[in-house]
Amino acid sequence: MVRCIAGAFRPDFFYDYLLITEFMLTEAKTPRKDGSKTSREERSRQEASDLAVGARLKALREKLGLSQRELAKRAGVTNTTISLIEQEAHAPSLASLHRILSAVSISMADFFALPASQQNVIFNSASDMMVVSRGAADLRVLAPERRDKALQMFLERYEPGAGTGDAPISHEGETAVVVIRGTVEVTVGEKTHRIRAGGGYQLIGRQPYSLTNIGNVTAVVACACTPPMI
């Protein structure tokens, strides 16, 4: 089970997403009898969109004072390729993205550390929130465009019996949680607390904890943490 918020990811989780995207793009080249080619291509574009690859590339290009044509020439790709990536209409493979970034001397890690926006007021619809995990534990993060923000907000959904995993979550900063729907159990140290909709908890400093949905309906939780986890 994917763990919630703090500790939910290894530091290289962006690479994991890009590798998944590359795999799906490779698979999409082979036509399938069940018509899954289009679905795989759409999923690849969605993965790239979730990571704001296009927005980050556009922000980087403009910061360097390059046109799409100039960046394409440096990277040895077509102008159309750069345009489609920036429009989130094309998901570049890991190799293609590395080639483009190498042309402007920036590492993959530094690229994904860039904020995809400089706006100080950000509105997100449900589809704009970045997908952290899907499945029995569904986690979404608000305002993924700004990687430099001091506060991070998550919306989490847990199916009955699902939770944050076996290993307790531990975070050096602060975490505040409000249960919007359902009933969850939160274990901090050796103590377990049952929290119903409308209630919540706040952890200050390193306080290892775990959360489990003990109800019969999908639990919905809003969680804020500072400093950001991802």
Can you tell me whether residue 176 is helix, strand or coil?
Answer: strand
Strands (E), the chain: 130-133, 137-141, 152-158, 174-181, 183-188, 191-196, 200-204, 209-213, 219-226
The pLDDT of 93-121, averaged and rounded, is: 83
End-of-domain residue from the set 113, 145, 165:
113
The pLDDT of 127-136, averaged and rounded, is: 85
pLDDT for residue 43: 57
CATH number for 30? 1.10.260.40
Query: Does 19 have pLDDT greater than 50?
Result: no
Residues spanned by the domain of 162: 126-226
Query: Does 3 have pLDDT greater than 50?
Result: no
Q: Are residues 138 and 214 in the same domain?
A: yes
pLDDT for residue 137: 93
Q: How many domains does the chain have?
A: 2
Give domain status of residue 56, yes or no: yes
Q: Could you tell me what percent of the chain has a pLDDT over 90?
A: 44
The pLDDT of 68-93, averaged and rounded, is: 91
Q: Are residues 17 and 89 in the same domain?
A: yes
Give domain status of residue 25, yes or no: yes
Q: Are residues 131 and 106 in the same domain?
A: no
Query: Does 61 have pLDDT greater than 80?
Result: yes
